[in-house]
Structure 1
Amino acid sequence: MKYFQPQSVEEALEIAHTSEATFLAGGTDLVLHMRTGKVQPLGLIDLGKISVLREIKEIEGSLEIGSMATFAELGKSELVFQKAHALWQACQTMGSPQIRNQATLGGNLGNCSPAADGLPALLALGAEVCLNTKTGKEILSVESLLSRTPLLEQGTLIRGFRIPVNGQKTGFAKLGRRKALAIARLSVAISVQLNGGRTDNVRVALGAVGRRAFLSEALGQELSGQELNNELLEKGVLEVQQIVREALGTRASAPYKRVAVAGVFREALTSIIPEGGTIV
């Protein structure tokens, strides 16, 4: 197998164009798939030396995150804590410290596991993703990308993410078999803009209840334009349980997750309340 270690995005794209090799981000999923024979790439293009892909910065009202930013870096970033709190929360319980040090946000999207911790947060935050190929670039919402099959064409590089900074309050919660190290069995991310005491532009995303994480536009609309109180919380619980019921159908995990999502949704929503505040 051929191994490449480019120093720039342009060099990486040229190699992918001429060799049909696979991009290597953190490798926490890819290496396992290679060991089991699930994937057998013709070559690997290690993106670890391209420093621009690790940047985390705020530019003109947006938080920009390079695809090679690790979950550990994101989880320690004050910018992410302040501007994309749901993503920061997702980073705190994603795998072990060793995994967080290696796994990248771009790799999380590229592998696109149903239980990917970063994706519900990106969806709720209204994130866009920047894709580069040898012939140009494309910027689209993460939601739009997740609707594609296949997710990415050969030679497509996930360059980074753009998250709007518009004062939204965001929260994330997940259920795993253990508090730490656990793969999410169920996750919920929520974004809410508050206009006085009323909600606006609510976005609710779920993970580990379907083939890919997804945004429920219907639930977001149902919860928008209302008082942020306990009545809204319980209404959301009933609605999200119905969404899980429809998404899982007759799968063996459906009865358990339909009940469990109530607690996960409550935790995600209440986590957006300012310290010392309550839902009344």
Structure 2
Amino acid sequence: MYYVRPETVAEVLEAGEKPGMLYLAGGTDLILKLRRQEVQARGLVDLQAVAELRRIRVEGDRLEIGAMVSFADLLNNDQVATEARALWLACRSMGAPQIRNQATLGGNLANCSPAADSLPALLVLQAQVRLLSHSGETLVPLAELLERTPLWPSGTLLAGFRLPLTGGASGFAKLGRRQALAIARLSAAVALREENGRASGVRLAFGAAGKRAFLSADLAEKLNGLVLDGGFTEVACREARKVISRALGERASAPYKREAVAGVVREALASVEFMKSGEGA
């Protein structure tokens, strides 16, 4: 098997266009799949040495996060903690410290597990995904990208994520067998603003409730404009049960998750700063 470790994006794209080459990020998922022969590769393009892909920075009215930024990097970044709270909370809930040190945000999307911790958070934060190829750069809303199979053409490099700084607040919670060490059995992320005591710009997303994480436009529509009191949380929990019921259909896990989602949504809302401070529910 070939192995290359380029240092620039141009070198990455050149190496990645060769047939059978796969991009290697943190390797927490890909290496296991290679060992199990679930995927085949002629060679690996290791992205660890590409500094451009490891940056976190605010540029104007957006937060730019490179695809090779690790979950530990995100967890230790003050800008992420304040401007992308849901993502920061998702990072805190993800895996053991050893996994957080190795796993990357780009790898979490590339693997695209139904239970991927970062994806519901990125969805409510309105993330756009930066894709690079020899044809240039493309920005694709994450919600749109998750409807594609495959996510992107062969040879395309996932370069990073662009999050608009909207001034809203966000939160995240998940249900697992052993908290942070567990793969999520169900997760929820929420983003919203408070305007004159009412909810505005509400977005809710769920993970481990279908093939991929998804936003619920129906739930957001029902919550926008409601007074931010205890009744808001109860409506959110009640309507979330309906969303999960529709998403899971007749699956064996549906009855359990339909009831469990209320507690997950309640916890996600409680993690939102102004909700927690007593201004809201």
How far the C-alpha of 1:278 sits from its partner, in A, is 5.2
Residue 49 of structure 1: aligned partner = 49
One-letter identity of the residue aligned with 1:36: R
Contact 1:20 1:155 survives alignment (8 Å) = no
Q: Bigger shift: 84-93 or 146-155?
A: 146-155
**Residues 47 and 68 of structure 1 are in contact (CA less than 8 Å); yes or no, is this contact kept in structure 2?**
yes
Kindly indicate whether residue 247 of structure 2 is the aligned counterpart of residue 247 of structure 1. yes
Poorly superposed stretches of 4+, deviation over 4 Å: none
Please say if 1:125 is aligned against 2:143. no
Distance 1:279 1:19 in 2: 54
Q: Is the aligned partner of 1:257 residue 2:257? A: yes
Matched pairs, number: 280
Given residue 62 of structure 1, which amino acid in structure 2 is its aligned partner? R
User: Separation in 2 of the partners of 1:83 and 1:276?
Assistant: 17
State the one-letter code of the partner of 2:150: P
TM-score (norm 1): 0.98
Paired residues of 2:228 and 2:279 also in contact (CA < 8 A)? no
Counterpart in the other structure of 1:277: 278
Q: Secondary structure at the match of 2:211?
A: coil
Once the two structures are TM-superposed, the CA of residue 151 in structure 1 deviates from its matched residue by 1.1
> Letter of the aligned partner of 1:190 in structure 2?
V
- Bigger mean CA offset, 194-203 vs 266-275: 266-275
Q: Read off the aligned partner of 1:209 and give its amino acid letter.
A: A
User: 1:187 is aligned with what amino acid?
Assistant: S
Residue 69 (structure 2) pairs with residue 76 (structure 1): no
Superposed CA RMSD? 1.1
5+ residue gaps, structure 2: none
- Identify the residue that residue 189 of structure 1 maps to in structure 2: 189
When the two structures are superposed, what TM-score results if normalisation uses the length of structure 2? 0.97
CA deviation after TM superposition for structure 1 residue 250, in Å: 1.3
Cα drift, residue 19 of structure 1: 4.1
Q: Structure 2 matches for 1:134-145, cutoff 5 A?
A: 134-145=134-145
Counterpart contact for 2:197–2:280, Cα < 8 Å = no
Aligned partner of 1:203 in structure 2 is 203
- Residue 25 of structure 1 pairs with residue 25 of structure 2: yes
Secondary structure of the residue aligned to 1:18 is coil
Partner of residue 90, structure 2 = 90
